[in-house]
Structure 1
């Protein structure tokens, strides 16, 4: 098996007890050296509102600003830090279209999502039609592994508008809300606890727009889980 990141051969040593197991764990997709370049977030020293890695559990300055301007409950949970290694991974996965790279994190990320079993619906953030045409896949669905997605949230964006990844921070924060819930889906989300899934939490603007949309349509509680922050 080759590492999906560096393409070196992954050497595995299997014990006899492992070989006799009726259901073996998934084969490793990246080598140990590449695994070490990605850093998990330590919840003991992360912002309790957005999951940002920091030196304490105090609410970070960004979330303090959101709280001052917001009127609804919302928090985000993140698994990895969005550092240079993760940026390089996202570039190859999302923008160079290497769909195989979903297997680097799909098992671990889906297990992380399952920790939040209290929610009624899991909803992956949708992408617009233009992105579907150019990319060919929704990167969030790829990262969710075998988890089922409840398709109740949709996105419509002007063809000429920049993607979030192309915008500077101030432009991201000023982005309008492009999400909507189809009329036929409104009963599915009414009074439900919904867990939004996305790949990256940067400014939080996109996820908060999605949460606002769901709250307006009657959702009882909305939180999100992202691969990285």
Structure 2
């Protein structure tokens, strides 16, 4: 049985109430200590109503205004955390250092905002070269217990996004293709795209564009961070 917090590695000190002990229910070891549970609590406060950016007001941010001038259909994204501090460290450990066990720390929160009736969950895929290095898709790691559709395939990347300038990412080429094995499921449906971070919006907007062209009736997105 694991006896350490998954995040800080400190011993888990659990004092179970008598009522629980007498219930004979199975004991589920928590992932986090009491301190880290508070650390991972979702923040409150104003967000951009379109992309989910955490900001001082609830007005649409300048980047969303830029996208709305260039895309016929706006994309509404729900972000769970701001992308700084905790989430940068979390994604470094989970995504880049390969600590797959950390998927459970945010999994329930991600799944909760993804699931809606009559809507397909579509994760953003990794390019084959990225998957070969990383060994797992960080997004599908959060979706291991829910049904999702692998509707998109990533084209080979000549240059990764972090090597491009912001302007290059904003006006870049289409990075995805439809998965022929699932394309027939798409026409007439509504889709929830899931990704780890909304940075410029390029990845999600291009995925939305491709899905709408394939006959999808509506697309929204969920990201862990913005």
Q: CA deviation at 1:14?
A: 2.0
SS at 1:123 equivalent = strand
Q: Deviations over 1:31-69 (max 9, x none)?
A: 233344446243x61111011111221111111111111
Aligned counterpart, 2:87: 86
Q: Are 1:53 and 1:81, in contact at CA under 8 Å, matched by a contact in 2?
A: yes
Q: 1:22 to 1:39 in 2, by over 3 A?
A: closer
Q: Deviations over 1:67-120 (max 9, x none)?
A: 111101421011111121110111111111111111211122222323xx1442
Aligned counterpart, 1:142: 141
Aligned counterpart, 1:49: 50
Q: 1:113 to 1:23 in 2, by over 3 A?
A: farther
Q: 1:23 to 1:121 in 2, by over 3 A?
A: farther
Q: TM-score, normalised by structure 1?
A: 0.88
Is 1:194 the counterpart of 2:191? The answer is yes
Distance in 2 between residues matched to 1:4 and 1:23, nearest whole Å: 20
Aligned counterpart, 1:17: 19
Q: 1:27 to 1:169 in 2, by over 3 A?
A: farther
Aligned counterpart, 2:152: 153
Q: CA deviation at 1:153?
A: 1.2
Distance in 2 between residues matched to 1:165 and 1:3, nearest whole Å: 32
Distance in 1 between residues matched to 2:25 and 2:120, nearest whole Å: 31
Q: 1:30 to 1:162 in 2, by over 3 A?
A: farther
Q: Are 2:153 and 2:176, in contact at CA under 8 Å, matched by a contact in 1?
A: yes
Q: Are 2:67 and 2:74, in contact at CA under 8 Å, matched by a contact in 1?
A: no
Aligned counterpart, 2:182: 185
Distance in 1 between residues matched to 2:209 and 2:174, nearest whole Å: 9
Q: Are 2:51 and 2:77, in contact at CA under 8 Å, matched by a contact in 1?
A: yes
SS at 1:45 equivalent = coil
Structure 1 ranges of 4+ moved more than 4 A: 21-24
Q: 1:41 to 1:213 in 2, by over 3 A?
A: farther
Aligned counterpart, 1:205: 202
Q: CA deviation at 1:136?
A: 0.3
Q: Between Structure 1 and Structure 2, how many residues are aligned?
A: 223
Q: 1:62 to 1:73 in 2, by over 3 A?
A: closer
Q: 1:119 to 1:204 in 2, by over 3 A?
A: farther
Q: Where does the alignment leave 5 or more consecutive residues of structure 1 unmatched? A: none
- What is the root-mean-square deviation of aligned Cα atoms in Å? 2.0
Q: Are 1:41 and 1:78, in contact at CA under 8 Å, matched by a contact in 2?
A: no
Q: 1:135 to 1:184 in 2, by over 3 A?
A: closer
